[in-house]
Amino acid sequence: MLRIDQATVFFAARDGRAVQALDRVSLDIPEGSFVVALGTSGCGKSTLLNAMAGFLPLSHGSITLDGRPIIGPGADRGVVFQKDTLLPWKSVLDNVALGLKFAGISRTERRDRAMELLRLVGLQDFANAAPYELSGGMRQRVGIARALAPDPAILLMDEPFGALDSMTREQMQELLVSVWSRTGKRIFFITHSIDEALVLGTQVVVMSPRPGRIVARFDLDFVRTIARDGDPRAVKTSVAFTGLREDIRAIIHQSEDQKELVS
Ligand SMILES: Nc1ncnc2c1ncn2[C@@H]1O[C@H](COP(=O)(O)OP(=O)(O)OP(=O)(O)O)[C@@H](O)[C@H]1O
Ligand SMILES: [Mg+2]
């Protein structure tokens, strides 16, 4: 279990004021789950993910992964960002294998493992290509393979498909559903898109505008249906899906209106 308990974060703004980015966020991410955080820009989603990755400390509260407190970055958490962070001078295969080098794994074993992951994301034919020879979607697939390489306990993904065109984005969602169901990895995923959240999450949490709080939680089955059928079309046009999309839209608007009343 990854357990976030009452996570609160204050930043010191440049004028010295304290800016509260997160307000007592509690969230459990059990084995095998796919948890999606949904919220408008600036509501603290990246702050939450960065705290889970160990990139920034909480002001109050705690985060533990399988019982161990998170106090810094570690190989037990694989991170994928919106912008790829591949090394341009290394091949696709070497980029994926890089994380294993530090784990002291032999060169042959590193290449075998990296090749296996490239097959998982459908890039086995591009192992020797350079990152600049790939499309944006392909680069994000390399990023997913690289994050999976050290066999982390959880994948943390911060709007990984946010910069992609809508068709590539849908393909990437399907790919990620298949990666999730084939590896059984826990995933924590951030998005602005209600549809993306509904397609991917076994649990969707909706966050309020700053300071980010969780204002609604939904347990969903759409992603399991999509994993089973290999096609999201029937799910996306179902009454259950379109109804929930409107419900969530209303929740987001309502929490924005409340913010305007307060400020
Ligand atoms: N290092 C920092 N110093 C001061 N304020 C910060 C810092 N990082 C984030 N913030 C503030 O905290 C709030 C939450 O930021 P965060 O990046 O977590 O939002 P977000 O939900 O990821 O937004 P987006 O969807 O645009 O990526 C924002 O108001 C931001 O200005
Ligand atoms: Mg962000």
- pLDDT one-digit tens code per residue, 177-202: 999 999 999 999 999 999 999 999 99
What rounded mean pLDDT belongs to the chain?
A: 93
Res 172 pLDDT > 80: yes
Give the residues across from 63 on adjacent strands: 4
pLDDT tens profile 227-243:
999 889 999 999 999 99
Ramachandran area for residue 6 (φ above 0: left; ψ -120 to 50: alpha; else beta): left
Measured in angstroms, how far is the CA atom of residue 51 from the centroid of ligand 1? 12
Distances (CA, A) of 114 to 101, 111, 122, 142, 173: 11, 5, 12, 10, 21
Measured in angstroms, how far is the CA atom of residue 22 from the centroid of ligand 1? 9
Nearest to 118 by CA among 89, 145, 78, 94: 145
What would the mean pLDDT of 149-162 be, rounded to a whole number? 95
pTM for this predicted structure:
0.95
**pLDDT for position 130:** 97
- The closest residue, in CA terms, to atom 16 on ligand 1 is 44
Res 263 pLDDT > 60: no
Res 260 pLDDT > 70: no
Can you tell me which atom of ligand 1 is nearest the CA of 39? 21
Q: 3-state secondary structure string, 55-78? A: CCCCCEEEEEECCEECCCCCCCEE
**pLDDT for position 84:** 87
Strand locations in 13-98 (E): 18-29, 34-38, 60-65, 68-69, 77-80
Res 22 pLDDT > 60: yes
Q: Is the CB of 209 under 6 A from ligand 1?
A: no
